[in-house]
Structure 1
Amino acid sequence: MMHQPSSEAWMSMNRYVEDMAVTTLLAPRLAYFVAVARHEHVTRAAHELGVPQSTLSRAMVRLEQDLGVTLFARKGRTVALTTAGRTFLASAEQALTEIDRAAESVQQDADPAAGKVAFGFLHTLGSETVPGLIRAFRADHPRIRFSLVQNYGEAMLEKLRAGELDLCLTSPVPDAPDLVARRLDEQRLRLVVPDDHRLASRKRIRLAEAAEETFVTLEPGYGMRRITDDLCAEAGFTPKVAFEGEEAETLRGLVAAGLGVALLPPPAVPRPGVVELTVTAPRAVREIGLAWLDGHPDTPPVAEFKRFLLSRRGRLIPELDPSVG
């Protein structure tokens, strides 16, 4: 059974519809009104705007009728603002200024040579990978600007859907009907243990050998948490989680303090106090993918950066794991 909206909801809805109706009526006439108000002369304003004088005169009459107030005191083709007209002029000029600023902003962002790309990426790609990518891209596009957002995968996908990001590097590679995603590369994951751990003398390990260990992991909802749980399940156990965090290097610190072990991508620089073991079974990797909103048109700078990233498939992040291969 459908619920009927409350009286308050109906009133709010009606006010919204009425406000939109008034805005639709007024918006096309604001520039006309401001020109007439500034010149205080219909003929000169019509000449500036490039419209017939009769058209401008009728538009001002209709504007006053729609508002239900007199904006001009008329003497032939000369006009003077009334008190209401002066009040309306201040807000009309402000509205047109904001529209001009918005138009200039979106035009600048879409400029092929100097536009802006809103780009999201995982925290673990922020130290080396993303700065290196942007440096390489800007060698040929030195004026393109970036708005950078670091976050976990699901949060970035929501920002894509909200129009706050143009592109994002994430893991796992998303599979959603409203998104387009391309696998670009993979990182081999390591089992990170304290340097005084019983396994610290090893170079390689099967993940099943860590079944009795206490793990520190990222929080549920993070891609690495899902990958950790899946790999442990494939190895035949459910990890005993002692601590959950939001950032990989914090987890390395917890490992160094002897609070557990962790499955993590390789660090940008070695961290003292831990040993990082190659996991031989199961195959412990995370895929890195590029995602964007399906059907969302790209501005020229976004299209160019997308082409650049796709061209680096298979060599996106080699610097993060020199032991691979």
Structure 2
Amino acid sequence: MRGAAEPVETADLGADSWALALTPRLAQFAAVARHEHVTRAAHELGMPQSTLSRAIVRLEDDLGVALFARHGRTLSLTPAGRAFLASTERALLDVERATESVRADTDPTAGKVAFGFLHTMGSETVPGLLRAFRADHPRVRFQLVQNYGEAMIERLRAGDLDLCLTSPVPDYPDLVARRLDEQKLRLVVPDDHPLAARKRVRLAEAAGELFVTLEPGYGLRRITDALCAEAGFTPKVAFEGEEAETLRGLVAAGLGVALLPPPAVPRPGVAELTVTAPRAVREIGVAWMDGHPDTPPVAAFKKFLLGRRGQLIPR
């Protein structure tokens, strides 16, 4: 068994491990190539000259090719060394760029937050949140993703998102979720519907109607089905869609009724009725992966969201 300080024998490694074995010596090789002198390169790297000399000899042995021609105390690159240096410099530059990118993303004043949210929150709620947050964090960047709840949960698990606003509030052992607010749902009917003149309605009064709903898998579809069941009926679904405003258009065209959150801008052709029974609301929550470390900008935005409990949805 090798000690912690002993070098890795590349002869013992598979092809996939060559990069792992060679990577620590690439910067050393590049420094020697740049100075054409081991002592000056060792001074730049802050390491003993003898250690650097052995590292370069070992690198050549592992590669099976001479990278330098020796001329007393000075060195010059061989043709193989020049070819290897070009690739080495590109690799080191890629690492430097990746490091700078990661550091920028974790900068508490200018990092990045990958934030997911429901389509129905994209026109008003989320822009208002971002505007308020950026008043104190003007340099934080956002990668915004609009999707339905289950798709966002999967993207959280895949590491594509840091946080997401979703409904219903998820309950999974690998996630942390916090309820932030609730949003009233309305029964939306065509403006020439017999119920259109009403301001309030019991959901059971729509038991005989055709419904237009979001597709199965959407949180709002599960809420619609649950509310109808609580009202004593199973909705007869005529059309299924992927976006709430499309459903409003179908309602305006006389193709059914729908349970929807309020629109950002009133839509002509429909009437929106308050549902008095059962209590028709959807809970909005924020979710993130349990145990996943937060970068400073993500931690700041999470704290901001949790501080807006009960104030998330415009009233």
TM-score by length of 1: 0.90
User: 2:285 is paired with a residue of what secondary structure?
Assistant: strand
Match of 2:6?
Answer: none
* Distance (whole Å) between structure 1 residues aligned to residue 62 and residue 193 of structure 2: 79
* Distance (whole Å) between structure 1 residues aligned to residue 236 and residue 301 of structure 2: 42
* Distance (whole Å) between structure 2 residues aligned to residue 39 and residue 299 of structure 1: 38
Aligned match of 1:209 in 205, 208, 232?
205
Aligned match of 2:81 in 78, 82, 85?
85
Aligned match of 1:39 in 35, 38, 49?
35
User: 1:185 is paired with a residue of what secondary structure?
Assistant: strand
User: 2:114 is paired with a residue of what secondary structure?
Assistant: strand
Match of 1:137?
Answer: 133
C-alpha RMSD of the superposition:
1.2
Compute the displacement of 1:176 (Å). 0.5
Q: Does 1:299 align with 2:295?
A: yes
CA distances 1:166-215 after superposition (whole Å, capped 9, x unpaired): 11110000000110000000001011111111211111111111111111
Match of 2:230?
Answer: 234
User: 2:155 is paired with a residue of what secondary structure?
Assistant: helix
Greater CA deviation, 131-140 or 182-191? 131-140
TM-score by length of 2: 0.93
Aligned match of 2:218 in 207, 216, 222?
222
Aligned match of 2:47 in 40, 47, 51?
51
Compute the displacement of 1:299 (Å). 1.2
Greater CA deviation, 174-183 or 202-211? 202-211
Compute the displacement of 1:75 (Å). 2.1
Match of 2:248?
Answer: 252
Q: Does 1:101 align with 2:97?
A: yes
* Distance (whole Å) between structure 1 residues aligned to residue 118 and residue 32 of structure 2: 54
Match of 1:263?
Answer: 259
User: 1:173 is paired with a residue of what secondary structure?
Assistant: coil
Compute the displacement of 1:235 (Å). 1.3
* Distance (whole Å) between structure 1 residues aligned to residue 226 and residue 63 of structure 2: 64
Q: Does 1:30 align with 2:26?
A: yes
The unaligned stretches of length 5 or more in structure 1 are 1-16
5 Å-filtered alignment, 1:267-286, equals 267-286=263-282
Match of 1:68?
Answer: 64
* Distance (whole Å) between structure 2 residues aligned to residue 234 and residue 127 of structure 1: 30
Matched positions, count = 303
Compute the displacement of 1:48 (Å). 1.4
Compute the displacement of 1:68 (Å). 2.1
Aligned match of 2:110 in 111, 114, 122?
114
User: 1:252 is paired with a residue of what secondary structure?
Assistant: helix
Match of 2:181?
Answer: 185
- Structure 2 counterpart of 1:105, one-letter code: S
Compute the displacement of 1:109 (Å). 1.1
* Distance (whole Å) between structure 2 residues aligned to residue 260 and residue 301 of structure 1: 44
* Distance (whole Å) between structure 1 residues aligned to residue 188 and residue 72 of structure 2: 86
Aligned match of 2:14 in 3, 9, 18?
18
- Structure 1 counterpart of 2:18, one-letter code: V
Structure 1 stretches of at least 4 aligned residues deviating more than 6 Å after TM superposition: none
Compute the displacement of 1:152 (Å). 0.8
Compute the displacement of 1:110 (Å). 1.0
* Distance (whole Å) between structure 2 residues aligned to residue 61 and residue 165 of structure 1: 46
Q: Does 1:194 align with 2:211?
A: no
- Structure 2 counterpart of 1:201, one-letter code: A
* Distance (whole Å) between structure 1 residues aligned to residue 187 and residue 271 of structure 2: 8
* Distance (whole Å) between structure 2 residues aligned to residue 259 and residue 67 of structure 1: 72
User: 1:140 is paired with a residue of what secondary structure?
Assistant: coil
CA distances 1:80-108 after superposition (whole Å, capped 9, x unpaired): 22222222111111111111111111111
User: 1:175 is paired with a residue of what secondary structure?
Assistant: coil
* Distance (whole Å) between structure 2 residues aligned to residue 256 and residue 77 of structure 1: 86
